[in-house]
Amino acid sequence: MDPLWITIAFVFGFLAKFVGLPPLVGYLIAGFVLHQFGAESGEFISIISELGITLLLFTIGLKFKFKDLLRKEIWLGTSIYTISIALLYSLILFVFSTIIIYLFSEFNLATIFLIAFAMSFSSTVFAMKSLEDKGEVQAIHGRIAIGVLIIQDVFAVIFMAILFINDLSIWALAIPVALFLFRPVLMKIFDWIGHGELLTLFGLFLGLVLGPELFQLVGLKADLGALIIGMMVADNKKAHELSTILLNFKDIFLIGFFLSIGLSGLPTSNAIIISILLVLLIPLKSIIYFYIFTKFNLRARTAFHATVTLSNFSEFGLIVTSVGIAAGLIAKEWLVIFAIILSISFVIVSPFSLKAHKIYSRFRKYLHKLQSADRVSGDEIVGIGNAEILVFGLGRVGITVYNQLTQQYGQKVLGIDFNEDIIKGFKEEGKNVIQDDSTDSEFWERIQKQDLNQVRLVMLCIHDYKTILYTVERLKEINFENTIAALAEFDDQVEELKQLGIHFPFNFYNEAGVGFADQICEFIGCDLDETVTK
């Protein structure tokens, strides 16, 4: 049945997308459908599932830096959240086991705490897919969410190490030394291998071989090795390029992971009832996340988006559960129960994730009452000063646009990006830039209150098309009537942008070729004119 998963996964993934859900929800349903028809998770799906998770953690590492984990709102906030939610869930499960005895007949305190701990995790797979699809991995709420997930992964590894401490080698203590010695060599290899297929192979070697095998050798989890190796080389200038290259590999492999959840088995009636009861506890995760984030001085908007990203159950719950089963602490049926609540949580949270900006805009007046007056670094409210031209997105295209316009209009041009590192670097160069987000409705409301007509031109040099569309909605809300320009990758996007009232939709790939040809003609113009004349 292994080859059949491609067809089934595509059909259900397409149907999910057609009704407005992420394709991963379709993959989960496809797994349950396959199992209903007698299919089982074979070696092929198991292997690509494992590769998908490992490669996912490696690419997370490539996009993150150790210094980001030192932020209080990440390491301390995650610690407080984990303790709080684990204790709260334990209390609720204890009440369930007391009142509904027939469902929770084999419960003891160790079992209750293990289940509560497994339920405390948020899905790394869901969060990364959601953030990547919306182009928000480097936004402050994206970095906060990823940081929380990494700390949770560390907690999971510590938990598993405690359960199986006899399997842990004394050589695990040498891992930090080995990584410290390896890092300069790996960074040099990055510089030598160029940009072709060798870079791809080197990335697969790091993410699927070196990190996982090194950690497994000393009794540590292979996935943790992939994550740490990725973080080690995240500062390299080719890390982003490598992450982009591996994106498609990771996405294909992760389809196997979602299918394997559905193929893990069909639940009993008791398991279904338990799953429904546990899914009803999702709002508690959201409330505690949001409360903690705001108490650490994050804006209500940042706290809300990070909370939505994390408000689900996790594949790590499955891993912790399987470890608990192996240790004899929990019944095997709980693996199927966690597969169900994981799947349902994805289905429930997905629409909220897709419409998070709209939901926040509708309820922000109420959410603002819960935020503190202080702000953490990178989440401050910044004005635009006297700027008349706003350039959003300071990637390769955006910074080129910014530099060209600055030559003519000087300080009237303001560059804006949500990537803290990019802004910090450009500020050191003396550029007129600020850190903010084009999808931030509060940003546009501040401009509206200041003087909407001050801004003559908004340039959306953003590569994520969904972000451009949402930004256009925000501009319409404040009745912005001056010039808007936006990047597009395809002709149908150009047409859609025109229909939305964008004055200058720019097909980057088409116009890049035209611009290149114009420059060549200008460069050889004299010789060419003489040749034509002759």
* Residue 533 placed within a domain: no
d(CA 116, CA 313) in angstroms, rounded, equals: 11
Q: How many degrees, rounded to 5, is the angle at CA 17 between CA 16 and CA 21?
A: 65
Query: pTM of this prediction?
Result: 0.75
pLDDT at residue 286 in the model: 95
**336 and 441 belong to one structural domain:** no
* Residue 500 placed within a domain: yes
* Residue 379 placed within a domain: no
d(CA 459, CA 488) in angstroms, rounded, equals: 12
Total domains in the chain come to 2
pLDDT at residue 531 in the model: 46
Q: Is 382 exposed, middle or buried (0-12, 13-18, 19+ CB in 10 A)?
A: exposed
* Residue 529 placed within a domain: no
Helix (H, G, I), strand (E, B) or coil at 108: coil
d(CA 156, CA 379) in angstroms, rounded, equals: 29
Q: Where are the alpha helices (DSSP H) in 375-490?
A: 396-409, 420-428, 441-451, 465-477
- Phi and psi at residue 481, to the nearest 5°: -115, -5
Helix (H, G, I), strand (E, B) or coil at 168: coil
End-to-end, the C-alpha distance of the chain in Å comes to 70
What secondary structure does DSSP assign to 89-107, as a single string?
Answer: HHHHHHHHHHHSTTTSTT-
pLDDT at residue 519 in the model: 64
Strands (E), 319-412: 389-392
pLDDT at residue 71 in the model: 84
**312 and 457 belong to one structural domain:** no
**410 and 352 belong to one structural domain:** no
* Residue 532 placed within a domain: no
CATH of the domain at 439: 3.40.50.720
**211 and 308 belong to one structural domain:** yes
* Residue 514 placed within a domain: no
**459 and 362 belong to one structural domain:** no
> With left for phi above 0 and alpha for psi between -120 and 50, is residue 328 left, alpha or beta?
left
**176 and 214 belong to one structural domain:** yes
d(CA 56, CA 62) in angstroms, rounded, equals: 10
pLDDT tens per residue, the chain (534 residues)?
556 777 888 888 888 878 767 677 788 788 878 877 777 767 777 788 788 878 877 887 887 677 777 888 899 999 999 999 999 999 999 988 888 766 776 778 888 898 999 999 998 878 877 887 776 777 788 889 988 988 887 787 777 767 655 566 777 778 888 888 888 998 888 888 888 788 889 989 998 998 888 888 887 777 778 888 888 888 888 887 888 788 778 778 878 877 877 776 666 788 888 888 899 999 999 999 999 999 998 989 899 999 999 999 987 777 778 778 777 778 877 877 887 888 788 888 888 888 888 888 888 888 888 888 787 777 777 788 889 999 998 888 889 889 989 988 888 999 999 887 788 889 999 999 998 888 777 788 778 777 778 899 999 988 778 788 888 888 888 888 889 998 888 888 889 888 988 888 887 766 666 666 666 666 666 554 454 444
What secondary structure does DSSP assign to 369-385, as a single string?
Answer: TTS-S---TT------T
**400 and 251 belong to one structural domain:** no
Burial 401-431 (b: 16+ CB within 10 A, else e): bbeebbeeeeebbbbbbbbbebbeebeeeeb
What secondary structure does DSSP assign to 203-248, as a single string?
Answer: HHHIIIIIHHHHHHHTT--HHHHHHHHHHHTTTSTTHHHHHHHHHH
CATH of the domain at 161: 1.20.1530.20
* Residue 523 placed within a domain: no
**172 and 258 belong to one structural domain:** yes
d(CA 366, CA 73) in angstroms, rounded, equals: 22
**152 and 229 belong to one structural domain:** yes
Q: Give the DSSP letter of residue 196.
A: S
**52 and 176 belong to one structural domain:** yes
Domain that holds residue 461: 389-509
**255 and 284 belong to one structural domain:** yes
pLDDT at residue 84 in the model: 95
* Residue 104 placed within a domain: yes
**122 and 204 belong to one structural domain:** yes
